């Protein structure tokens, strides 16, 4: 695809949008300018290719297609069947999965599909068989109430939020924490690393139906073979949420025991983040769980977004190219460079470093909360997100850390030297930020003061890096 063709496609699309609602066209243009002019270090963000982005803007959006391939609740879905078939085929081949379900709209939706599929397979199906019923509609009211009680009182064991888990892994304010009788495992208080013996002991004591592995802010690799051993010992289903590191799995950076697909019963993921596709979710499963997962719509999901499934197919096709393996390895290498850049300047990292795509920086050594650090960095054109650290004294809102990821800037072409410079700029901002005070005169967890001239200096230095690695090079909007 030529630069001229891409530029023409987007320019004309924005003209059409502007003819109806110019404010939306203007915001879209400004978003491109903002992304081009900032250091994007949010670990869950990336830059999708023009082909992926363009695929989402089509008339496939106009179709309702509840159900599955060849078994829809609406007529006229033959082209959607093609789209979903192609996307699932790419997903199976890319990850070596027995089954792939590409309908989930997001990572949370994918986890809900997984949870309810496991409940359907492990609890509902055996109960129906024992009662001689084909489906829940054949149950008496009394039997249905008994089954409903069982479905709502199963046990889930997941990684705690402050240890690096996700809120959908049993965090009480989330629906996952309300669906299940849940407990959580953490990390070693000294090292911040997973202690598999401690996880196993917790699982033996709690005996969960579902053991959830995976993370959103744990800067190390996980041994999924060990997690499967723990699950098997207590009769649990192993579910892995690889939303953050799916690109490293697809790119064969994580293999063997560190690849969750051969070891887990069910694997969920987003299709953006390190996988560099459209915003969406996906579920991979063994054949045993496939029939239950296939009921995701209408069990949990509304009508699938056909235009997004098409974009997933394009992104997964891109990820099957040899060049994606090189990209994935650079993501991991660049995370090492970023971590080394911090530690060499005296900054404190949770677990002391990284061996995946993200770094978790403890900002308490700068006398700041995560919220203060995030805000000060944003003033300087560095986009990050605040994040809890183990045993966080500031809780999940203010936090004591910031999470930084390398996928997006790696897509732009950043390498070792650039990430070392990024670490230098971040340390400079944080070292020159002072916490503010409340109206009562006490220490504030939110307000801050950034030293004079620091933001401008860092923005100028960032611009030098960004100009060498333009975002969507060749894309010029008329």
Least confident range from 49-63, 127-141, 222-236, 375-389: namely 127-141
- Please report the pLDDT score of residue 176 as a whole number: 86
Dist. CA 228–CA 212, nearest whole Å: 10
pLDDT band for 167, please (50, 70, 90 cuts). confident
Is 37 within 8 Å of 463 (Cβ atoms)? yes
Catalytic entry in 45, 64, 345, 379? 64
Q: Is 241 a catalytic residue?
A: yes
pLDDT band for 2, please (50, 70, 90 cuts). confident
Could you please state the CATH topology (level 3) that the domain comprising 322-468 is classified under: 3.90.1150
Catalytic entry in 36, 279, 325, 348? 279
What does each C-alpha distance from 29 to 13, 382, 475 come to in angstroms?
11, 20, 12
pLDDT above 90 for 438: no
Catalytic entry in 72, 202, 220, 273? 273
Mean pLDDT taken over the chain: 95
pLDDT band for 465, please (50, 70, 90 cuts). very high
Q: Is 270 a catalytic residue?
A: yes
Task: Please spell the DSSP secondary structure of 351-396, one letter per residue.
Answer: GGS-SSSEEEEEGGGGT--HHHHHHHHHHTTEE-EEE--TT-TTHH
Residues paired with residue 229 on neighbouring β-strands, in sequence order = none
- Please report the pLDDT score of residue 175 as a whole number: 85
Catalytic entry in 187, 270, 384, 399? 270
pLDDT band for 1, please (50, 70, 90 cuts). low
Instruction: Provide mean pLDDT across the span 100-119.
Output: 96
Dist. CA 147–CA 151, nearest whole Å: 6
What does each C-alpha distance from 279 to 46, 64, 160, 189, 213 come to in angstroms?
10, 19, 25, 35, 22
Domains of the chain by residue range: 60-319, 322-468
Instruction: Provide mean pLDDT across the span 139-164.
Output: 92
Q: Is the pTM higher than 0.75?
A: yes
pLDDT above 90 for 441: no
Using the 8-state DSSP alphabet, how is residue 217 labeled? S
Domains 60-319 and 322-468 share a fold: no
Q: What percent of the chain has pLDDT over 70?
A: 100
Dig out the tokens for 46 from the structure.
């990336």
pLDDT above 70 for 136: yes
Least confident range from 170-174, 261-265, 377-381, 384-388: namely 170-174
Instruction: Provide mean pLDDT across the span 402-422.
Output: 98
Q: Is 286 a catalytic residue?
A: no
- Please report the pLDDT score of residue 334 as a whole number: 98
Catalytic entry in 28, 29, 36, 66? 66
pLDDT above 90 for 453: yes
Task: Please spell the DSSP secondary structure of 231-264, one letter per residue.
Answer: HHHHTPEEEEE-TTTHHHHHTTSS-GGG-STTT-
Task: Please spell the DSSP secondary structure of 97-132, one letter per residue.
Answer: -SEEE---SSHHHHHHHHHHHHHIIIIIHHHHHHHT
Could you please state the CATH topology (level 3) that the domain comprising 60-319 is classified under: 3.40.640
Catalytic entry in 124, 162, 241, 318? 241
Instruction: Provide mean pLDDT across the span 258-283.
Output: 97
For residue 377, what are the contacts with CB-CB under 8 A and spacing of at least 6? 383, 384, 402, 426, 429, 430
Q: What percent of the chain has pLDDT over 90?
A: 91
pLDDT band for 464, please (50, 70, 90 cuts). very high
Dist. CA 24–CA 30, nearest whole Å: 10
Q: Which residue has the tokens 């192609």?
A: 86
Give the tens place of pLDDT for each residue, 331-389: 999 999 999 999 999 999 999 999 999 999 999 999 999 999 999 999 999 999 999 99
Instruction: Provide mean pLDDT across the span 275-292.
Output: 97
Q: Is 468 a catalytic residue?
A: no
- Please report the pLDDT score of residue 428 as a whole number: 98
């Amino acid at each position: 695809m030529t630069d001229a063709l891409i530029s023409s496609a987007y320019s004309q699309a924005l003209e059409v949008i502007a003819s109806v609602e110019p404010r939306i066209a203007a915001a879209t243009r400004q978003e491109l300018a903002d992304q081009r002019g900032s250091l994007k270090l949010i670990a869950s963000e990336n830059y999708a290719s023009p082909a992926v982005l363009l695929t989402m803007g089509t008339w496939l959006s106009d179709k309702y297609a509840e159900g599955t391939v060849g078994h829809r609740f609406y007529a006229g879905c033959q082209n959607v069947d093609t789209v979903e078939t192609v996307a699932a085929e790419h997903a199976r081949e890319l990850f070596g999965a027995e089954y792939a379900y590409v309908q989930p709209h997001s990572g949370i939706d994918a986890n809900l599909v997984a949870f309810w599929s496991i409940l359907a397979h492990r609890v509902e199906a055996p109960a129906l068989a024992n009662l001689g019923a084909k489906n829940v509609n054949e149950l008496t009211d009394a039997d249905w109430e008994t089954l409903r009680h069982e479905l709502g009182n199963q046990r889930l064991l997941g990684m705690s939020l402050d240890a690096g888990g996700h809120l959908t892994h049993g965090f009480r304010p989330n629906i996952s924490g309300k669906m299940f009788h849940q407990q959580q495992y953490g990390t070693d208080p000294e090292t911040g690393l997973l202690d598999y013996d401690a996880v196993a002991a917790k699982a033996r004591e709690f005996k969960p139906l579902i053991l959830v592995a995976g993370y959103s802010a744990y800067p190390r690799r996980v041994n999924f073979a060990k997690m499967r051993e723990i699950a098997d010992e207590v009769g649990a289903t192993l579910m892995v949420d690889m939303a953050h590191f799916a690109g490293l799995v697809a790119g064969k950076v994580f293999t063997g025991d560190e690849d969750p697909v051969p070891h887990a019963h069910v694997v969920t993921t987003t299709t953006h983040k390190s996988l560099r596709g459209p915003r969406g979710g996906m579920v991979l499963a063994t054949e045993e769980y496939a029939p239950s997962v296939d009921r995701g719509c209408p069990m949990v999901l509304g009508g699938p977004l056909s235009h997004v499934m098409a974009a997933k197919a394009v992104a997964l096709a891109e990820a099957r190219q040899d060049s994606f393996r090189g990209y994935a390895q650079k993501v991991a290498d660049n995370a090492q460079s970023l971590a080394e850049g911090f530690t060499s300047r005296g900054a404190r990292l949770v677990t002391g470093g990284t061996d995946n795509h993200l770094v978790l920086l403890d900002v308490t050594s700068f006398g700041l909360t995560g919220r203060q650090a995030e805000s000060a960095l944003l003033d300087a054109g560095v986009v990050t997100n605040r994040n809890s650290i183990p045993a966080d004294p500031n809780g999940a809102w203010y936090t004591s850390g910031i999470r930084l990821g390398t996928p997006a800037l790696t897509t732009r072409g950043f390498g070792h030297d650039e990430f070392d410079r990024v670490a230098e700029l971040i340390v400079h901002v944080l070292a020159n930020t002072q916490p503010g005070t409340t109206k009562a005169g006490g220490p504030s967890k939110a307000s801050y003061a950034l030293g004079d001239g620091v933001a401008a200096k860092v923005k100028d230095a960032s611009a030098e890096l960004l100009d060498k690695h333009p975002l969507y090079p060749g894309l010029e909007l008329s």
